[in-house]
A = this chain, B = another copy of it.
Amino acid sequence: MHPTDPNALGALPPAAVTAEVADLARRARAAGRALTRASGAQRTAALLGMAAALEEQASTLVVVNAEDVRDAGARGTSGAMLDRLTLTAGRVTDMARALREVAAQDDPLGEVEALTVRPNGLRVGRMRIPLGVVGIVYEARPNVTADAAALCIKSGNATLLRGGSEAHRTNAALVACLQGALVAAGLPADAVLALPSTDRGYILAMVQAEGLVDLVIPRGGEALIRFVTQNARVPVIQHYKGVCHVFVDRAADEARAIDICVNAKAQRPGVCNAMETLLVHAEIADSFLPKVAEALTARGVELRGCPETLRRVPTATPATDADWAAEYLDLILAVRVVPSLDAAIAHIEAWGSDHTESIVSEDYTAVSRFMAEVNSSVVVANASTRFADGGQLGLGAEMGISTSRLHAYGPMGARELTTRKFVVYGAGHVRT
């Protein structure tokens, strides 16, 4: 099915596909310019119209989606995957709610945080502007279609969407619905475009469209993300995985620590901001480990521990290095006793994925050092790792979580899809 070997570096799409995607990207760019020139009020009206259109067409969308789900089931797609693919009336309502939340946020465009005055009187500021054309490559979840379109429109970007092949009917119906609302709001339909095929050749053409596509965000499995990164010639922001840590310091409030550990591991184990490794300060291990083990075991969590852990929790099984690296996405937890804060930080540096780490401690210096020295994209004191989420952190919706440091680090909202140009105001200034 694929025109190229996904693992071959330097794979090139067929010329006709390159031309087709270039044409789409040019249409998207023109539409993006119209978005930029539209007022914030007009972009907000379009988002509200998109939310209403989704709700109006909910029953049609659910019927179309059922065909995708039926086909995927017939091809033997597994339960979790089928669940992600499935659209219900309730999920359409959730998508509409997310659109309204994005609509309600401040307009990021045009903002100049400060104008400073140079010694020669020249006034210098930076004005926030869109990136241009943003490509999104994702898999089965249809809500990504609406979220991505909403964040891009909010930030004045045109978007090129490439959803998973399992959801192709659903995504086509969603894009048509969103485009209708855009046109009704006086904005161009081309601001939200879908690639015409889910064939990987189209991804290749998009990620190699230098000068036509400004950013590609791959969301999904590690193989897809690697395919995009290794073949891209346009900028890519990605995250591979979340191996999140909670460090329970010797000065932790134990009851708080237990609540946080149970929440971080068991509230929703299948997501990237769930805890995968628990680090416990040796000085508190005798008291804390048996209690937290009991609470976690009661929630069905399997524990894999270092020798020091096994001594205090005989029901745990021995952990290997593979466990320190594991993103289980399941009710399994690696547990390690560390002799110090420094050892905890060193463990995170060695095994972490730059996603999210939390310290539980009442010690001022320990918290200060952890917050300063752990350079993951989200660093948390005395709260669950599960808060590493655009909505929870105040971004409205989220486009993904970046674990690469360039441009944006951590959850990305509409503002993270913008850049800043210099604006310089003179009075006939020339350089001497």
Q: Nearest-CB distance from A359 to chain B (Å)?
A: 10
Stretch at the interface among A277-285, A291-299, A387-395: A387-395
Cα distance A323–B114 in the bound complex, in angstroms: 37
**For residue A373, which residues in chain B have a CB less than 8 angstroms away from its CB?**
36-37
Task: Flag whether A91 is at the interface (Cβ < 8 A).
Answer: no
Copies of this protein in the complex: 2
Q: Would you call B381 and A428 a contact (CB within 8 A)?
A: no
Question: What's the Cα separation between A289 and B382 when bound, in Å?
Answer: 68
Q: Pick the contact of A260 from B131, B422, B428 — CB < 8 Å?
A: B428
Out of B210, B388, B406, B428, which one reaches A235, CB within 8 Å? B406
Q: What 1/0 flags go to A23-51 for Cβ under 8 Å of B?
A: 00000000001001100000000000000
Q: What separation, in Å, do the CA atoms of A428 and B214 have in the docked complex? A: 41
A9 CB–B CB distance under 8 Å: yes
Q: Which residue of B lies closest to A406 (CB)?
A: B235
Output the nearest chain B residue to A210 by Cβ-Cβ distance.
Answer: B229
Q: A122-B387, A235-B404, A263-B430 are in contact. Are A116 and B424 (CB under 8 A)?
A: no
Judge whether A410 is part of the interface by a CB distance below 8 angstroms. yes
Quick check: is A341 within 8 A (CB to CB) of the other chain? no
Q: Size class of A's contact patch?
A: 35 or more
Interface residues of A in 345-397 (CB under 8 A from B): 349, 371-373, 375-384, 386-388, 392-394
- Chain B residues in 8 Å Cβ range of A235: 235, 404, 406
Residue A87 is within 8 A (CB to CB) of chain B in the complex: no
Interface, chain A (partner B; CB < 8 A): 8-10, 12, 33, 36-37, 110, 116, 118, 122, 124, 126-127, 129-132, 210, 214-215, 229-230, 233, 235, 237, 253, 256, 259-260, 262-264, 267, 349, 371-373, 375-384, 386-388, 392-394, 404-411, 419-432
Q: What are 30 residue pairs bridging A and B, where the CB atoms are less than 8 Å apart in the complex?
A: A9-B10, A9-B12, A116-B394, A118-B394, A122-B383, A132-B405, A237-B406, A256-B428, A259-B430, A263-B431, A267-B430, A375-B421, A376-B421, A377-B422, A378-B421, A378-B424, A379-B421, A380-B425, A380-B426, A383-B425, A383-B429, A384-B426, A387-B429, A405-B419, A406-B407, A407-B419, A409-B421, A409-B422, A410-B421, A411-B422
